[in-house]
Amino acid sequence: MDRLDNTVRPYAWGSPTAIPRLLGTEPTGEPQAEMWMGAHPGAPSRTPRGTLAEVIDAGPERELGAAAVGRFGPRLPFLLKILAAGAPLSLQVHPDLEQAGQGYADEERRGVPVDAPQRNYKDANHKPELICALTEFDGLCGFRDPAEAAGLLEGLGVASLAPYVDLLRARPGDAALREVLTAVLGADRQETARTVAEATAACVRLGGAYTPYAQIAHHYPGDPGVLAAMLLNHVRLQPGEALFLGAGIPHAYLDGLGVEIMANSDNVLRCGLTPKHVDVPELLRVVRFEPSDPGVLRPTAGEDGEEVYETPIDEFRLSRYVLPEGGATHDVTRDTPQILLCTAGSVQAGEEDLGPGESVFVPAGEKAEISGAGTVFRATVIV
């Protein structure tokens, strides 16, 4: 197995302290948002044999196994991250596989440069993802029931929100959500900014269920995404709890530290809370306007102490081992590629000693055992 040296991405929304605290290093004063573990071309992990991308390219079947290569091609199909949100991420959705393929082909045909700021589809893949909380973790996930959203907006006492309240109560659920989100994103920006300012003041005054939206507005004053966010479920994960985010589900992470795993894609369509490009027509094509429960996931017991976060896709499988002091050694050998990540304590993965934030890549079929006292997350695929 290969010890990984991983890149930390300094996105503006990142916490300056959460990842350094996990790693036991001094903060730099700059945001440290995501630590990437994998072979993504944007920041592949480094190994003693070269970058993980180079290692896999040199022998895909040796590193990934014949079954994984046959199913997903000669690349690692997932990206594992430690994510540290100190401010809200953009409100966003991801396309399904068919939508991604169509969108990518269309932009390629029209000659839109892949690095252009108005480009929606960087690749032809979908991007389902799972976030598992390491600390208390706040986020938005999926649409509220329209009647609940109407009550939340009405409670602000802002006259310019009354048409949205009426729509949410007068139309069937899916249609109401579509019409209100379309209206919010398409309204005059100056008028919307005034409405958001009034709504923000009311959120600050009222507190309680409105507190998350006051905090969002603090970071994005006047942004129409503040109103869009109030259409969504607010969820607070406790450590060990997770959210699965499938195609078309609007979501945003607000605050906290977690382990995130996703299919290896960069396809994001944004609804707001961002200075980046928002393509409203394409967004409306991809969003699933269905009221839904956030669906908090808790791990289910597997074999030999493994706790599995069950999801409906095969590009990744995330599980964890909570190893007690003096406990047994666990054989984690698989015929698929793995990344093992320590998030607490001190553990041994093969001959490697791992502390919090340290990880190894295990090629398919290579003998792998873990022991010690701590928590290990295991990322692999299903074939």
CA distance 270 to 101: 18
Find where tokens 């919307």 sit.
192
Burial of 159 (0-12, 13-18, 19+ CB in 10 A): exposed
Region label for 353, one of left (φ > 0), alpha (ψ between -120 and 50) or beta (otherwise): beta
CA distance 38 to 57: 13
Cβ(295)–Cβ(251) below 8 Å = no
DSSP state at residue 210:
G
Find where tokens 């919010």 sit.
184
What is the maximal distance between C-alpha atoms in the chain? 65
Tell me the sheet residues that pair with 371. 348
Q: Considering the candidates 75, 270, 317, 334, report the single residue annotated as catalytic.
A: 270
CA distance 144 to 291: 5
Q: 10 Å Cβ neighbour count for 26?
A: 8
- Find, among 249, 244, 243, the residue nearest to 287 by Cα: 249
CA distance 365 to 334: 5
Cβ(309)–Cβ(242) below 8 Å = yes
CA distance 298 to 24: 28
Task: Please say if 178 is a catalytic residue.
Answer: no
- Find, among 321, 315, 334, the residue nearest to 381 by Cα: 315
Q: 10 Å Cβ neighbour count for 207?
A: 9
Cβ(68)–Cβ(316) below 8 Å = no
CA distance 348 to 364: 19
Give the active site residues. Answer: 270
